[in-house]
Amino acid sequence: MKVIRTSNYGEMSRTAGELIIEKIRSNQQLTLGLATGSTPKGVYEYLISDHWQNGTSYKNITTINLDEYIGLRNDHPNSYHIFMRKNLFDLLDIPLAETFIPDGTADDLETECLRYENLIKEKGGIDLQLLGIGQNGHIGFNEPGTPFKSRTHIVTLAESTRQANSRFFPSFREVPAQAITMGISTIFESREILLLASGAAKAEAVARLINGDSDENFPASALKLHRNVTIIADEAALKLV
Ligand code: F6R
């Protein structure tokens, strides 16, 4: 794993944004795996301002998101569908039909997981997957203990993950208890992975990722076995390394 140290959140976002733009410029049909949450917001802002200023086009790009809550309609303000539209898709020239997010309202959620796996295959796999990291080491919504061989599946969210995400909801009670997430193996098959981390709250997780062993109790550590992973993190997130 390559580690790029940046001074703060802004520099982390810019560094990641530039890397993504370079990939898009060299492959205009890139399949980009995307994440939600606070961490990638600055990267998305950077991509949007570059699109408007420099004309980088997303007309032929495909995006595939990591996860979605179960039980929130796709137009629910806290759904990841709306998060992605508000923070990225509606501000680029990307056709919405080429943006994919698991459907957490599907009647048959197991079939939805299979459909998502097949979709990723049909699109030729993910060229570049963007990831955040949970304080407990989760990637996507793969909580500690998830087998490294897991594929897209239904998860029950850890209490700590629901607590952390309750900042986006009116109350903790309204944070869904379950989600659909790409599995660790699904993520691992991406040709390249870019993991971002910012802030002191992520310092322990980042230190364990960089210095610890590969262990299913710490999902992000699967990435230690991957050939093409870059961590871009700021000083605060790297303070224990
Ligand atoms: C989001 C996701 C999660 C987040 C992680 C960090 O799609 O899959 O793994 O990346 O929970 O969240 P933030 O960035 O809000 O700290």
DSSP 159-213: HHHHHHHGGGSSSGGGS-SEEEE--HHHHHTSSEEEEEE-SGGGHHHHHHHHHS-
What is the 240 CA–ligand 1 centroid distance (Å)? 20
Q: pLDDT tens, 187-227? A: 999 999 999 999 999 999 999 999 999 999 999 999 999 99
Enumerate helices (H) and strands (E) in the chain, giving the number of each. 7, 10
Task: Tell me whether residue 127 is one of the annotated catalytic residues.
Answer: no
What is the 133 CA–ligand 1 centroid distance (Å)? 6
Residue carrying the six token digits 């961490």: 39
Task: Tell me whether residue 234 is one of the annotated catalytic residues.
Answer: no
Q: What share of the chain is helix, strand, coil (3-state, %, to 5)?
A: 40, 20, 40
For residue 148 the two structure tokens come to 């490294």
What is the 74 CA–ligand 1 centroid distance (Å)? 19
* pLDDT (average), residues 12-24: 98
The SS3 assignment for 5 reads strand
Q: pLDDT tens, 43-81? A: 999 999 999 999 999 999 999 999 999 999 999 999 999
Measuring from atom 1 of ligand 1, which residue has the nearest CA? 36
Q: Which of 143, 153, 165, 234 is an active site residue?
A: 143
Helices 41-54 and 9-26, packing angle to 10 deg: 50
Task: Tell me whether residue 136 is one of the annotated catalytic residues.
Answer: yes
Measuring from atom 15 of ligand 1, which residue has the nearest CA? 37
Looking at ligand 1, which atom is closest to the CA of residue 139? 9
Mean pLDDT of all residues belonging to the chain:
97
pLDDT > 70: what percent of the chain? 100
Q: pLDDT tens, 79-125? A: 999 999 999 999 999 999 999 999 999 999 999 999 999 999 999 99
Pocket of ligand 1 (CB under 6 A): 35-39, 66-67, 132-134, 138-141
- pLDDT band for position 240 (cuts 50, 70, 90): very high
Ordered structural domains, the chain, with CATH: 2-234 (3.40.50.1360)
Model-wide pTM > 0.85: yes
